[in-house]
Each structure stands twice: as C-alpha cells, then as structure tokens.
Amino acid sequence: MRRNKMEIHHEVSEPWKVTLINTGEHTMAGSRLTRVAADVGDGASRGQRPAYRQAAFRQAMDTLRDRSLLGDLWSSSTAPWKTWT
C-alpha cells in the first residue's frame, strides 16, 4: 500500500472489486466502520457488512486452522462458495 502498487500473481482473476483503506494501526473495529462508511456505502455506518446469502456452507475464518481449511478447499477447486465460473 505504501508504494500504491498492485502485484498480479495469476493471469485469471475473479470478478471482485477490492478496496483497501488504511484506517490506522490502532483503530478499533467500530471506528474502522465509521471511517470507511463514505467509501464503502451506507451499510458500513450501521455496522453492517456486505454479504451474500449462502445457506449450504458456512465457515468462520478466525484462526490459522480455519484459514488453512478454506485455503485447501479453494486450491482443490472444491470451494462450495465459488458459484461462478
């Protein structure tokens, strides 16, 4: 972020829009939502995060074990949340 550059690791990309906003290293979660409300939209100001309903699969990503599990699913092309082609 410091150099304002982006590095592409794969030729194929997903149809996502990702916005990185530096809100400060010591900012608490509630303050982060308030600070990004103008950039992300009105939902952030009410503490809501954009989400898509996916009733068939739910998995938190709070721990290294969770990250490894989800990463393995993605790498093996068996990620149940990837519904686009």
- pLDDT higher than 70, residue 6: yes
Type of residue found at 2: R
Q: What is the pLDDT of residues 48-83, one digit of tens each?
A: 555 556 566 778 888 899 999 999 999 998 888 887
| Total-model pTM | 0.38
Domain coordinates of the chain in residue numbers? 1-51, 53-85
Mean pLDDT of 17-34: 77
**Tell me, what's the pLDDT at 12?**
78
| pLDDT score at 85 | 63
Q: Which of 1-5, 33-37, 76-80 has the highest mean pLDDT?
A: 76-80
What type of residue is 8? I
Of the CA atoms within 13 Å of residue 55, those in its CB half-sphere come to 0
